[in-house]
Structure formats: C-alpha cells, structure tokens
Amino acid sequence: ILVDAMQHGATDYVAEYTVSNVYLPSPEIKGKIIGKEGRNIRSFEEQTGVTLDLDESPDTVRISSFDAVRREIARVSLERLIKDGRIHPARIEEVVAKTRAEIEKIMFKEGEKLCHKVGVYNLPRDIIANLGKYKYRYSYGQNMIIHTLEETQIGVKIAKEIGADVNIVKLACLLHDIGKVFTDKEGSHIELGVEYLRKFNLPEAVITAVAEHHEDHPSTVEGAIVQIADNISGGRPGARYEDYEAYAKRLKALEDTALSFEGVEKAYAISAGRELRVIVNSDKTDDASAVKLANDIAEKIQKNHSYPGTVKVTVIREKRAVGVAK
C-alpha cells in the first residue's frame, strides 16, 4: 500500500536554497541603495521587514529574512527600484506597496490552484490566501506547495486503500503545515496552525489530525495517515536539505549565547536547533536563578538570532553526592 501510495503522490521536484540575491548592474548602485546617511536602506528595510547585506560581494545584495513572503516582496521591489533608477524613501514606499499587492494576488491564485489540484473547494478566502504563501515558503529546501500536494496525494491513496475517511485525510493533509506561515507569532507551527484553524467551522477530526501529525501515537486512523504521508514526503531521499555549514554555524551561535551567561558550564543545541539544553554550576546557581536564567537566555536568542519556529531553553541544575563503600 505504501509503495503504491508513494508512486501515486510522486512529483517532479528540484530542491532550492532560500537565499535571495539581487544582482547589481554596477557597483555604484550600492551608493544609491544606501542613500544619504543611510536613509534609503533604512526606509527599504522598514517597509519590507528584511535585512539587506551589501557586503557579500561587489555586484550582489543579499536579502535576509525567515519570512519568505517578505523576502520575495523585497527582492521584486529592489529589482524594480534598480531598473527605475529613482531610489528615495517616497519612491521606495510606493514600489513596495504596489509589489506587495501584486504578490498577494499571486499567492491567492496559487492557494486556489493548490486546493483545486487536491479536490478541495469552498474554503474560506483567508485560508486560501495563507495556503498561497506556500509558494514562497521552503522547509529545509523543500517547497511547501510541492510537499503539501505530494503529501495529500499520498494520504488520499492510503485512506482509499484501508477504508479511512478520505475527506478528513485530504483536508488535514492540505492544512497540516499552515502554522508555518505565521512567522511573526510565538509558538510551534502546530500550535499556531491549530489556533488559526479553530477560527473556522472545520471538522474537529481535521483539527485533531493537524494537532497530532508530529505526535508519537495519533488518536485517529486519519491522523496516523496524515503523519505517515508527511513523513514519506519529507523523508524521501533528495526531498530536504539544509546548507550544512550554515546549519552548524546556527547551532554553535545558540550554544555560544548560552555560554555567555555566568554560571553556565555547558550548552547543547539539539533537535535541529529547536531546543537548547543548558547545564549550570549548582554551587553558583540556585533554583530561582535557574528559572530567571532560562528566560534571560530565551530573550537574548529572540533578540539576537534568526531562526525558524521556536527555540525551547531548558536549564538543568543538578547536585550530585557520591559515597564510596570500601
């Protein structure tokens, strides 16, 4: 059944990195982008919510943001400004607003297209618009529209083979990762997705399957199918990857942040950087200080680091007494 389902859900896929670069026709353009006393670059970053790196190379501007939609709006806007030649705060605001409106239309059409491909109709417009954001969203190099389409096709095939509720599986597969588009809110993508979906009149079985698609033991057959289909799509060879060098650098930066605090002896970033375990000296840190330390480290990470999802900080304070019987 699984092999047949995988063949049914197979899609053409080419992995991509999520770095956005804009190439400059001449090095002099950098001066225009920066503007007098940096007013242009400040205006652009405020309007788009991204960070521009002009030091990467003489003929390239690198756009940084974990929000892929913001990054795409910034990329298109910057290319248009460079082509136009008029780069000043008023023009930047005008171009960014126009580009944002166009990107939102494109995303809505992509959301509709995704829904129609899997046979889901009459969803609320807000859900369709957020599904359309998958066009610019990648998870470890795997485009989310491709992943969602692939997973839904696999899930539907399995549901049909074993007699599960196809409609529940189809809708849950389609919506299982919708929490990943809310990059400006705190919480895991599952928590954010469930919170969002509860605003709409969706079947409880769908929301349960979405909530449990990373659990060890889903409570329903449909939830288990969603989990299996998700693992097949995301885990197959070639589906996902992350630049190892950047990945290692990100984990080390998290550990170094924890080690910068007094009383911290060791720090380990685990679960692909989603959790930071901090071991403290029990003689220098009491229980109350450990709680404060965890919050202080989390606050510093939130302020100084860019990361997908959330980072859980666990401070471990242990006192050991050893006796030896001779």
* Residue 96, domain CATH: 3.30.1370.10
Contact 134, 181 (CB under 8 A): yes
List, for residues 159-205, the tens digit of each pLDDT value: 999 999 999 999 999 999 999 888 777 778 888 999 999 999 899 99
Share above pLDDT 90 across residues of the chain, in percent, rounded to a whole number: 42
Residues listed for the chain: 326
List, for residues 199-212, the tens digit of each pLDDT value: 998 999 999 999 98
Residue 187 neighbours by CB under 8 Å, 6+ apart: 179, 195, 310
The residue range of the domain holding 305 is 244-317
Domain count, the chain: 3
What is the pLDDT, as a whole number, of residue 13? 44
Residue 291's CATH number: 3.30.300.20
Same domain, 219 and 261: no
Q: Which two tokens stand for residue 266?
A: 């060791």
DSSP secondary structure, 14-52, as one string: ------EEEE-SSTTHHHHHH-GGGHHHHHHHHHH--EE
List, for residues 268-307, the tens digit of each pLDDT value: 888 767 889 999 988 888 888 999 999 999 999 988 887 7
Confidence of residue 246 (pLDDT cuts 50, 70, 90): low
Please give the model's pTM, rounded to 2 decimal places.
0.63
What is the pLDDT, as a whole number, of residue 167? 94
> What does the pLDDT average to over 239-247?
57
Same domain, 10 and 46: no
- C-alpha span between 255 and 142 (Å, rounded): 27
